[in-house]
């Protein structure tokens, strides 16, 4: 192979699609490393602190697409203090200096400032795609900069970000010459938008295929938009309530009947059941449906809608769909691959909305199911065993029983056997989240069977260090391990320190790990960053009792070639 001219090798590498394959070939020999790095067009950095941005720029001068992830996953649930880090600016600055040909940037859980967005807008003339997921730190002014200066912008996709609203001006900043938009998603914005500017923008972008509006866009506006964007494939509605004149509503129905290409529907902010019939005409074509922002749509209305969605592959709903509604999904949506059932009533008890019965029904009706996120009030081992038998193709299985540590209500046993059945049956399982009452046994099963497991989330589970050790020893492909409120301590942490260099990261909070354990780990493994996160209200305690035997509240460990980071706030100790 080394006798092939480099152009041929490069040509072959072009066929490689996954990052892993690219990474793998670059380690074969120096020649391949050289060819690969010059030909690499897309780089994925799973942890922004694992490598310095300058190094990425230096190694891959031809990069067109960059993806970077920042905060640990548990930041989504407020377990990571706000100023922890994950700043996008160093990345954008480094690329602005060294690789301004960047065309696509995807950031997840990072702090993105308006300054970042302005840099992107001004220093990257070919910038085409911006995707921000669960980010924060910017405002609509930053979006205005992007709209104004990115001449060839194709995608502006904002998913679940916290964006400061500074008015609707940003949307009007897209110049009349901007006709290149293919995808626009501003569903997470809270503020008003200029309806006229939006309608004109959509009208002049003939290639627009994805459009997700926020709750400020009225039904009337939606009708007009639909009228001038007949080829939409993915639509997120704006506000969907009945507070609108009837003609707007009828216009909407008419427009929907003409829609042949629509495959995915979401939004439905404050949706009222009475508006639902408007979408009946297109349900038959839908492959994706997200009703998880519409708590008012329940029971019979929901079922009526679902019965029309024969081709559905992806469904996100609230648990008010009930077991009965899930049974309807099971009998209707034979192509279902992904299901997410979110809790609608987090605080109260009320009647149990979905239970193990709903899940069992789904599993028997939808054998293609491979991705699940299910919030419920109870689960039984028997149900999990049945689900495991019915659906052996799970790649993502996340079960959240709302009571921490709740056992099987029928047998009062822990759910070890149920989850054990899942990992045993689903050989391709890559992601697993556990809940309910669990002992060390479940970890034994996971270590034994979950060979492909890459990400594991543990909460309120296990009895002793053995549990964690089973997982570390057994799961060869483990990349991310996040644990909270479980009795694992230093012995488990230090059992196999080398393991953490094979993983992206480890998070442990409210466990039994002590400062001494963390320091030991840090000392043994220089290529790991061991961060101890102390919340402010504990700082008094730190002075009173700084002993190493203190239990550490939050610890985040990750492999890195960048050394300790220099942007850590005071409450983060880099050991």
3 state DSSP class of 164: strand
Q: Which of residues 112-151 bind other proteins (CB under 8 A)?
A: 134
Of 176 and 243, the one with the shorter C-beta distance to other proteins is 243
Pairing verdict, β 528-533 and 554-559: antiparallel
- Least Å from the CB of residue 403 to other proteins: 4
List 1, 24, 242, 523, residue binding other proteins (CB under 8 A):
242
Task: Tally the C-alpha atoms within 13 A of residue 130's C-alpha that lie toward its C-beta.
Answer: 29
Distance from C-alpha of 203 to C-alpha of 533, rounded to nearest angstrom? 50
Task: Tally the C-alpha atoms within 13 A of residue 267's C-alpha that lie toward its C-beta.
Answer: 28
**The one segment of 255-263, 324-332, 382-390, 535-543 that binds other proteins by CB under 8 A:** 535-543
Closest by CA to 558, choosing from 499, 487, 485, is 499
Of 210 and 510, the one with the shorter C-beta distance to other proteins is 510
List 12, 16, 38, 79, residue binding other proteins (CB under 8 A):
79
**The one segment of 95-103, 177-185, 247-255, 433-441 that binds other proteins by CB under 8 A:** 433-441
List 27, 545, 561, 566, residue binding other proteins (CB under 8 A):
545
Q: Is 382 in the site for other proteins (CB under 8 A)?
A: no
Of 484 and 559, the one with the shorter C-beta distance to other proteins is 484
Q: Is 296 in the site for other proteins (CB under 8 A)?
A: yes
Distance from C-alpha of 121 to C-alpha of 134, rounded to nearest angstrom? 20
- Least Å from the CB of residue 553 to other proteins: 6
For 109-263, list the strands marked E by DSSP. 129-133, 136-139, 155-159, 162-164, 183-185, 210-212, 234-236
List 7, 14, 76, 192, residue binding other proteins (CB under 8 A):
76
List 84, 87, 91, 342, residue binding other proteins (CB under 8 A):
342
Of 117 and 275, the one with the shorter C-beta distance to other proteins is 275
Kindly give the interhelix angle for 381-390 and 416-425, rounded to the nearest 10 degrees. 10
- Least Å from the CB of residue 467 to other proteins: 10
Structural contact between residues 533 and 81, judged by C-beta atoms closer than 8 angstroms: yes
Distance from C-alpha of 440 to C-alpha of 459, rounded to nearest angstrom? 13
Taking residues 251 to 290 in sequence order and writing x for each that binds other proteins by CB under 8 A, - otherwise, the string is: ------------------xx-x------------------
Distance from C-alpha of 127 to C-alpha of 239, rounded to nearest angstrom? 31
Of 106 and 554, the one with the shorter C-beta distance to other proteins is 554
Q: Who's near 157: CB < 8 A, 6+ residues apart? A: 129, 130, 131, 132, 183, 184, 185, 210
- Least Å from the CB of residue 551 to other proteins: 5
| Cα distances (angstroms) measured from residue 446 to each of 249, 261, 430, 503, 531 | 52, 43, 12, 17, 27
List 192, 247, 496, 538, residue binding other proteins (CB under 8 A):
538
> 544: burial class by Cβ within 10 Å (0-12, 13-18, 19+)?
exposed
**The one segment of 53-61, 96-104, 329-337, 540-548 that binds other proteins by CB under 8 A:** 540-548
- Least Å from the CB of residue 358 to other proteins: 14
Of 377 and 504, the one with the shorter C-beta distance to other proteins is 377
List, in sequence order, the alpha helices (H) in 138-231. 140-149, 169-172, 195-204, 219-228
**The one segment of 23-31, 96-104, 253-261, 539-547 that binds other proteins by CB under 8 A:** 539-547
Structural contact between residues 371 and 338, judged by C-beta atoms closer than 8 angstroms: yes
Of 128 and 398, the one with the shorter C-beta distance to other proteins is 398
Taking residues 391 to 420 in sequence order and writing x for each that binds other proteins by CB under 8 A, - otherwise, the string is: ---------x-xxxxxx-xx-xxx------
Of 145 and 459, the one with the shorter C-beta distance to other proteins is 459
Q: Is 74 in the site for other proteins (CB under 8 A)?
A: yes
- Least Å from the CB of residue 266 to other proteins: 14
Q: Is 17 in the site for other proteins (CB under 8 A)?
A: no
List 2, 27, 540, 566, residue binding other proteins (CB under 8 A):
540
Q: Is 543 in the site for other proteins (CB under 8 A)?
A: no
- Least Å from the CB of residue 344 to other proteins: 5
Q: Is 463 in the site for other proteins (CB under 8 A)?
A: yes
Structural contact between residues 366 and 330, judged by C-beta atoms closer than 8 angstroms: yes
Using only C-alpha atoms, the chain has a radius of gyration, in whole angstroms, of: 25
Q: What is the DSSP letter of 15?
A: T
3 state DSSP class of 123: helix
Of 36 and 482, the one with the shorter C-beta distance to other proteins is 482
**The one segment of 113-121, 197-205, 344-352, 563-571 that binds other proteins by CB under 8 A:** 344-352
Angle at CA of residue 35, ends 33 and 37, nearest 5°:
65
Closest by CA to 365, choosing from 400, 342, 339, is 339
Q: Which of residues 181-240 bind other proteins (CB under 8 A)?
A: 188, 190, 215
Pairing verdict, β 155-159 and 183-185: parallel
- Least Å from the CB of residue 409 to other proteins: 4
Q: Which of residues 28-47 bind other proteins (CB under 8 A)?
A: none
Q: Is 561 in the site for other proteins (CB under 8 A)?
A: no
Distance from C-alpha of 9 to C-alpha of 3, rounded to nearest angstrom? 10
Site size toward other proteins, by CB under 8 A: 78
- Least Å from the CB of residue 240 to other proteins: 10
Q: Which of residues 472-491 bind other proteins (CB under 8 A)?
A: 484-485, 487, 489, 491
Q: Is 510 in the site for other proteins (CB under 8 A)?
A: yes
- Least Å from the CB of residue 112 to other proteins: 16
- Least Å from the CB of residue 384 to other proteins: 16
Distance from C-alpha of 481 to C-alpha of 455, rounded to nearest angstrom? 6
Q: Alpha-carbon torsion 165, 167, 172, 175, what sign?
A: negative
Q: Is 2 in the site for other proteins (CB under 8 A)?
A: no
Structural contact between residues 365 and 357, judged by C-beta atoms closer than 8 angstroms: no
> 549: burial class by Cβ within 10 Å (0-12, 13-18, 19+)?
exposed
């Amino acid at each position: 192979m080394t006798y092939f001219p480099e152009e041929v090798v490069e040509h072959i590498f072009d066929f490689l699609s996954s990052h892993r394959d690219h990474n793998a070939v670059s380690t074969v020999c120096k020649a391949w490393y050289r060819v690969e790095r010059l030909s690499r067009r897309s780089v994925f950095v799973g942890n922004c602190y694992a490598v310095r941005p300058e190094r990425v720029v230096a190694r891959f001068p031809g990069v067109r697409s960059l993806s970077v992830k920042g905060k640990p996953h548990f930041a989504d649930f407020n377990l990571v203090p706000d100023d922890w880090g994950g700043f996008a600016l160093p990345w954008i600055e480094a690329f602005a200096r060294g690789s301004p040909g960047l065309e696509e940037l995807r950031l997840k859980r990072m702090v993105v400032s308006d300054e970042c967005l302005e840099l992107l807008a001004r220093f990257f003339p070919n910038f085409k795609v911006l995707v921000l997921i669960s980010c924060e730190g910017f405002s609509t002014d930053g979006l205005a900069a992007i709209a104004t200066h990115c001449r060839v912008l194709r995608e502006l996709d904002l998913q679940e970000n916290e964006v400061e609203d500074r008015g609707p001006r940003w949307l009007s900043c897209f110049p009349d010459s901007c006709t290149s938009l293919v995808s626009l998603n501003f569903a997470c914005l809270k503020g008003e938008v200029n309806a006229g500017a939006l309608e004109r923008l959509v009208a002049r972008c003939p290639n627009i295929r994805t459009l997700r509006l926020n709750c400020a866009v009225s039904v009337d506006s939606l009708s007009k938009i639909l009228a001038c964007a007949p080829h939409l494939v993915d639509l997120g509605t704006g506000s969907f309530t009945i507070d609108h004149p009837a003609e707007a509503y009828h216009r909407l129905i008419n427009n929907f009947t003409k829609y042949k290409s629509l495959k995915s529907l979401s939004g439905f902010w404050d949706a009222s059941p009475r508006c639902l019939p408007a979408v009946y005409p297109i349900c038959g074509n839908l492959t994706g449906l997200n009703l998880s922002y519409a708590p008012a749509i329940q029971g019979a209305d929901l079922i009526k809608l679902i019965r029309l969605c024969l081709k559905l592959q992806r469904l996100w709903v609230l648990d008010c769909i009930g077991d009965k509604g899930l049974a309807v999904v099971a009998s209707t949506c034979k192509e279902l691959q992904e299901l997410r059932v979110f809790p609608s009533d987090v605080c109260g008890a009320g009647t149990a909305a979905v239970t193990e019965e709903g899940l069992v029904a789904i599993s028997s009706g939808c054998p293609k199911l491979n991705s699940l996120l299910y919030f419920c009030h109870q689960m039984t081992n028997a149900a999990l065993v049945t689900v495991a038998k019915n659906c052996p193709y799970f790649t993502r299985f996340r079960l959240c029983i709302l009571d921490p540590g709740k056992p099987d209500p029928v047998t009062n046993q822990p759910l070890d056997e149920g989850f054990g059945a899942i990992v045993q049956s689903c050989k391709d399982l890559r992601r697993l989240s556990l809940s309910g009452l669990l002992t060390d046994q479940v970890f034994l099963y996971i270590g034994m069977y979950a060979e492909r497991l890459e990400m594991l989330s543990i909460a309120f589970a296990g009895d002793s260090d053995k549990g964690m050790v089973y997982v570390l020893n057994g799961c060869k492909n483990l990349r991310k391990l996040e644990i909270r409120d479980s009795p694992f301590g230093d012995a488990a942490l230090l059992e196999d320190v080398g393991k953490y260099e094979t993983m992206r990261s480890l998070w442990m909070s409210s466990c039994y790990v002590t400062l001494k354990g963390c320091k030991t780990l840090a000392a043994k493994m220089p290529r790991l960053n061991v961060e101890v996160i102390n919340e402010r209200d504990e700082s008094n305690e730190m002075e009173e009792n700084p002993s190493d035997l203190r239990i550490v509240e939050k610890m985040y460990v990750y492999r890195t070639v960048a050394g300790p980071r220099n942007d850590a706030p005071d409450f983060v100790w880099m050991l």
